[in-house]
Structures are given as structure tokens and as C-alpha cells.
Amino acid sequence: MTLSQEIRTAFRTCPFCEATCGLEITLKGNEILHINGDKEDVLSGGYCCPKGMALGELQNDSDRLRHPLIKRNGAFEEVSWEAAYAEVEKGLLPIIKRGNRDAVALFYGNPCAHTLAGQLYLQHIIRALKTRNLYSASTTDQMPRHVASGLMFGSPALISIPDLDRTQYLLILGANPLVSGGSMCTAPGFPKRLAAIRNRGGKIVVIDPAKTRTAKAADEHHPIRPGTDAFFLLGMMHVLFAEELVSLKHLSGHVQGIEEVRGIAAQFSPEQVSGACGIETAVIRRLAREFSAAPAAAAYGRIGTNTVCFGSLNAWLIELLNILTGNFGKAGGSLFPQPGHSVPFQGPGGKGWQTGRRRSRVKGYPEVMGEFPVATLTDEIETPGEGQIRALLTIAGNPVVSSPNANRLDKALASLDFMVSVDFYLNETTCHADVILPPPGPLNTGHSDIMLYNNAVRNVAHYSPPVLPPQPGHPDKWEIMLSLSLIISGQGAATDPAILDDFIIAQLVSSAVKKESSTVAGREASELLSILGKRKGPERMLDWMFRTGQYGDGFGKNPGGISLDRLENHPHGLDLGPLTPAIPEAISTPSGKIELAPLQLLADVQRLKTTLRIKQPDLVLIGRRNIRSCNSWLHNLPSLLKGDNRCTLLVHPQDAARLGLAQGAYARISTGTGFVEVPVEISEDMLPGVVSLPHGWGHNAPESRMAVAKINAGVNSNILTPGDVDPLSGNAVLNGITVKIVPAPGRE
């Protein structure tokens, strides 16, 4: 038997969702035989879902692009990397040189948070572009949480995480972790962790318009009218103040603004909010009492509370619930992780944080974390004038499917002068590109989910080396990113990205040795660089981050500390223990205190108030996820597409009867922006008046090359979403959309 035919096992973190499960991949040489959960993984302990098991299908998918494509006379041709980069240079530079940097926009998508290149090298493209037109999937996702954190804690990056493994009371709002794997709460094996809460005598309560898998596994489920969580949460807060259940405990002395919050809560009694949110007053009262009485409680909200018209208010109120009951910064409550690559919190106080340093040209939306809402990308492409977008770079994103008012965006992309996509599929978005640059296969590169470990329920460190050798001549993801930055900054497509990479790390090291707070203060930069020198790219960057982080070996200062060598010897990861309280050290507001009542949020409560008495729409649309999907892009893998059509409209029997909709028959759903027709699935799980359609479908672009996905294309739910935003965060409203539904004319 030759070496290349030997059976071998590789351990690898799954790159698909935020759960970061450890996978055990069995190979014969370089042929993938099967994939299971890695039982010894420190965080996932063997848990794995059908998507993780299908990673080999993505690696081997013949539709996955292996070579760059250039569009010539309307048709795509495979070309060399040199030719593709030259084409990018030829297309982008004249637009940049015309003098307006804003004419080139960037959209980056969700997988950027799941790849090393996205986490570590994307920033160099952003810096080179110097455009105001920066967009990402964050404004269809979690931006409200960043806003709440920025305003309350002084940093948008400080995300508090429910301490699942120690809590005794978990209040889940608008999340379905048993299907999604958990989001902004990296906790692989969510089903087991939730079951453990109940087994130790704790309680789980779910607030969701749909009776989801998570709702069914909970002690209680309370269906809520979409978009009204802020009312429900204010009702709970009202009870906390009215019944003197507010108890800051260890947080007293570290907060300010409690009187303002009391004043706001006083205006929203359970009686006042119950009609709007659809949850009975007695339930609101009881839940407030239970939450405050629990030995350790955590309130956790996700997509269903973020992608609605009051997303930022919801995020703020959920943090407030944790804080006012003394559950914030406490074991079993809600905590800030400090994973393996982190540096210690710098102590209370800081510069604070703001939004709106500039405004979008057409609609005047404030910038948030340097970005404008993706919901206004189309406006900025369509509207003539100085600063109009004429070229677009997309990286790991499929905005034509993921972003609101999809038909209009689709048309707008077709009108651009030039478009480049870094993506390994020719799909609904990338079919508009003039050049497509495919990253290597998922198993051809190294992996570490440092960004997601910032949201993990335990502090961990993990690194997975490439499982398969690189495809000859194919640049790595970080090299593609650096080549693009070199092109954009005018240094030429032919410049070796390795030179820029050396420069970047040299700069990091030389500034760290001069910084007093660094573990390498006063060291020789050249010595550290030579120690790091056996690696390049993201691996060298990771080694640097781990070694200078709070658990790092400090380049010999702390023997036994973390380095990439050490992580390579621990293929199942390193467990660094449970989350620890970090109040006040983590708080970086100028006052050094948690700001309970930021002015922008108080002002937005007035906007909320104006909606208290308006008549609820007759029918609203929400979204859902499925265990075999990952947003829009895993539908080309046969094992994930098989089975019944999942792109259906869930409708409560009462609604089906009054609308004349039959099981399996097609319904036409329409809004002001378009309509789609899908089969109906009648379900008691829906709240009457609320229907549900998953996003991520509609794989019928004629030019796309996803043969399996096209078999069961489904419809794009974002054809229906108008592109309204939560004004504070710019996050798109994707749930609670007013719709009209009729039996689809002429369709069986």
C-alpha cells in the first residue's frame, strides 16, 4: 500500500454555522470516506448535524469553481489567475482613478465570519478601498446587538452570552437554536445543553410566533405577535420596578441611568402592552417574577428580535432584563467570553462609541460600524450623482438572495459598470460579476473560528490545519484578499501578496514591542519575527495572536502558554474553562459604567410608543431555518437537498380556511415589492395571522451553475421584503412583513 492510499483521520472544525462542531474526517489518502462528530472535541463533544457530515460533498462538488471565470460577450470563460487579476485591475482602476472612491462598493457575506481570511485579511481590502460604500450581511442580521453593546458597554464587539451550562432559567426570544445551531451563542450540541438545564431542575421559556423545535423542547412557549418583543420586554420591566424586584447585586455602582429606565418602564404596564404583543398580562407578570427569582437566569434573543423594526430596542431591553435582575456578569447569567486569542480587558473606562459619523447619500442612514445598511445598496447603485456606486466587489455573499427587495437589487447589479465576486459558486449574485475569483475548497485551507469563540459558552482555543493539500497553482484565500488589496491600492496585480503579508506582520510586531500593556513590551521585534517566521499568512497571524493573548506563551515568558504549535498538538482544541465575570473591567464607556439609558434608545422608545395603538396587520410573514440549509448556499449538496420540498408557506388552519388555501396547493404571497408562489403547508405550529417562509431559496437564475440546487429551486423570500430598516442600526426588517395571500391563480 502506498502512503497516499493509507486510511487516515483528520480533525477539523465545521465551517458552516456558529456552533463550530469538531469533525472527525476519515480519508483514504486524499479521498474523503466519511465524516462524523469528533467525540473528543472540547466544545462539541461529538455533536454534528447533517451539514457537517456533508462537508465532503462541498469539497467534491463538481459545480464548485476551481478556476477563475471572466465574462466575455455575456458568457463565462475559465481563465488563469494572472488573467483574472489583470481583468480586475483593468475594470476597477479606471473607476477608482476617476477620482471618486465611493464609486466602488464592497459587500461581504456571512462566511467571512467563518474563514481565517475573512476574519484576518478582509480588513486590508476595506482599508485599500477607502470607500464609504461598505455593506455586509451584518445589516440583515445582528447589527442591533452591536448598537446596544456600543451604547451600553462602550464597544460594539462586547456581546454578552447566556451561560447555558450553568443557568437555571433561560428565556429565549426569537431564536431557534435546535435548528440553527445557536447564534451569538456558540454552543455546539444545543439540544443536549438545553436538556441539561431541565434535568438540573431549571426552566426554559420560549417567546416565538411559531412553535419551533426549540419551543417544543422548552417548558413553556408563548407565541408573540412578530415585531412586538419590545412591548413584552417593557411589560416585564414594568413588573420588576413595580414589584421592587429590581436587584442589581454585584452590578450596583457599575451602572448609571436606572431612574430613566424606571421612568420608561412605568409607561408600559402589562395591561398596556398585552394587546399589542399578544401575551397575557398574567403571563408577563409571572415570567418577570420567575426570572428575577431564579438563582441564575439568562435572557437571550436572536434573529427574530434583531431583524425587526425595533431591533435595537429589543437588544437593549434584553440586556436590561439581565442587568436589572443582577444576572449580568454572573455565572449562570449572561457573560462576556474571553477565548484563547483574547487580550485582557483594559479596565473600566474608554473612549465610548458612536454611530452616524457619516450618512448614506440617498436615504441619509447613519453609518454603523463603518457600514451602511445593505437595504439601501440598491438606492446607491440606482441613484445618479456624485458618489453613485458603479462597481461592486462581493466577497462570500449572495445579496440577491439574502438582502431585501431582491428583484430590485438583482436589476441594479445588472446595471453596474463592473463587478468582481470572490466566491466558489456561480449563483444568483455572482452571475452578475465580470470576474469570479474562487477560493480554494474548504478542506484545502487551515481553519480557526476566533470570531465565533468570542461568543462561545466556554473559553476555548482551537486550530485545524488544512486536511487536503492545496490545488496546484490555486492561491489561498488570504492571498486572494491581499492580491485584491494590492490591485485596489494601485500596487499592481503582479505584486507577490507574500510581500504585503510580511509587511503587515512586521508592523504588528514592531508596534506591540513598543506598547507597555503588551506581553512583548521591550522585546526585539526581529527576534519575535524570526520565531514566527516558519509560518506565513493567517497561521503566522494566529500564532502571533495566541502567543500575545492572555493565555499565550508570550514568546517564552509564560512557558506552557498557548502557541499555534501547542494547538497543532491538540487537534480537539483546548478548553480554558467556564466564562468568568468581567464587570467592570470589560466596560469601555467614558463613564466606566454600564449606560442603562443611552439617549438614542430612550428616543426610540417614543417611536415604539406611537405603534402601541395602531391596528395590527391581518397577515404577517416571518422566516424560518432548516437543519439542512445554511442561508442560500448549501442547496447544491445532494444529501442536503434530498427529501420533501422545504420551501413552503406554513399557514395556521384558521388562516388557510379563510384564505381558501389547501394543503400542498400553491399560494401567491405579495407585498409592494413583488410576489412569489409556493406550496402551502398547513400547520398548527403557526400563530393565526402569521405565516412563515424560509429564506435562502430561489435558485433559478438562468446563468447560475448549481445543478442540484436548481432541481428544487424554491422561491426567494426577499422578493417580498421591502427594505425597511431599524433606524438605529440600519438592520433590515425581515420578520413581521405585511403580506397579502391568495390561492395562486391558475396553479395546482
Ligand X SMILES: Nc1nc2c(c(=O)[nH]1)N[C@H]1C(S)=C(S)[C@@H](COP(=O)(O)OP(=O)(O)OC[C@H]3O[C@@H](n4cnc5c(=O)[nH]c(N)nc54)[C@H](O)[C@@H]3O)O[C@H]1N2
Interface residues with ligand X (CB under 6 A) are 17-18, 109-111, 115, 137, 140-141, 173-177, 179-181, 183, 207-210, 212, 224, 226-227, 229, 302-305, 307-308, 395-399, 402, 422-425, 427, 439, 622-627, 629-633, 695-696, 717-718, 721, 734-736
> Which residue's Cβ lies closest to ligand X?
304
**What nine digits make up the cell of 113?**
465570519
Residues in the chain: 748
Q: 3-class SS at 370?
A: coil
Q: Tell me, by CB under 6 A, how many residues bind ligand SF4.
A: 12
Does residue 112 contact residue 84 with C-beta atoms inside 8 Å? no
Should residue 18 be labelled a site residue for Mo ion when binding is judged by CB under 5 A? no
**Least gap, CB of 17 to ligand SF4 (angstroms):** 3
Residues in contact with ligand SF4, shown as a per-residue x/- string from 41 to 80 under the rule CB under 6 A: -------xx-xx----------------------------
Q: Among residues 20, 212, 405, 430, which is the contact residue for ligand SF4, using CB under 6 A?
A: 20
Return the residue matching grid coordinates 444576572. 327
**What nine digits make up the cell of 155?**
464597544
CB nearer ligand X, residue 115 or residue 342:
115
CB nearer ligand X, residue 509 or residue 605:
605
Please provide the DSSP assignment of 364-382 as one string: -PBPBTTB--GGGHHHHHH
**Least gap, CB of 141 to Mo ion (angstroms):** 4
Q: What percentage of the chain's residues is helix, strand, coil (to nearest 5)?
A: 35, 15, 45
Residues in contact with Mo ion, shown as a per-residue x/- string from 58 to 97 under the rule CB under 5 A: ----------------------------------------
Which amino acid makes up residue 349? Answer: G
**Least gap, CB of 404 to ligand X (angstroms):** 7
Which runs of E-coded beta strand occur in 130-224?
Answer: 134-136, 161-162, 169-173, 203-207, 220-222
**Least gap, CB of 15 to ligand X (angstroms):** 7
If phi > 0 it is left, if psi is from -120 to 50 it is alpha, else beta; for residue 253 that is: left
Q: Among residues 14, 504, 619, 715, which is the contact residue for ligand SF4, using CB under 6 A?
A: 14
**Least gap, CB of 511 to ligand X (angstroms):** 29
Which runs of E-coded beta strand occur in 109-158?
Answer: 134-136
| Among ligand X, ligand SF4, Mo ion, none, partner that 168 touches (CB below 5 to 8 angstroms by kind) | none
Should residue 453 be labelled a site residue for ligand SF4 when binding is judged by CB under 6 A? no
| Among ligand X, ligand SF4, Mo ion, none, partner that 188 touches (CB below 5 to 8 angstroms by kind) | ligand SF4
Does residue 297 contact residue 291 with C-beta atoms inside 8 Å? yes
| Among ligand SF4, Mo ion, ligand X, none, partner that 481 touches (CB below 5 to 8 angstroms by kind) | none
Name every residue whose Cβ is closer than 8 Å to that of residue 7 and which is 6 or more positions away in sequence.
26, 27, 28, 33
Report d(CA 730, CA 748) in Å as an integer. 40
Should residue 426 be labelled a site residue for ligand SF4 when binding is judged by CB under 6 A? no
| Among ligand SF4, Mo ion, ligand X, none, partner that 52 touches (CB below 5 to 8 angstroms by kind) | ligand SF4
Q: Among residues 11, 16, 555, 666, which is the contact residue for ligand SF4, using CB under 6 A?
A: 16
Report d(CA 359, CA 437) in Å as an integer. 31
**Least gap, CB of 372 to ligand SF4 (angstroms):** 30
Helices (DSSP H) in 397-496: which residue ranges?
399-402, 406-414, 450-453, 477-488
> Which residue's Cβ lies closest to ligand SF4?
52
Q: Among residues 102, 141, 163, 479, which is the contact residue for Mo ion, using CB under 5 A?
A: 141
Does residue 169 contact residue 3 with C-beta atoms inside 8 Å? no
Closest to 522 measured CA to CA, from 513, 530, 531? 513
Per CB under 5 A, which region of 141-149, 224-232, 252-260, 274-282 contacts Mo ion?
Answer: 141-149
Please report, as residue ranges, which positions from 134 to 193 form the binding site for ligand SF4 (by CB under 6 A). 181, 188
Q: 3-class SS at 733?
A: coil
Report d(CA 730, CA 141) in Å as an integer. 10
363 burial level (CB within 10 Å; 0-12, 13-18, 19+): middle
**Least gap, CB of 119 to ligand SF4 (angstroms):** 16
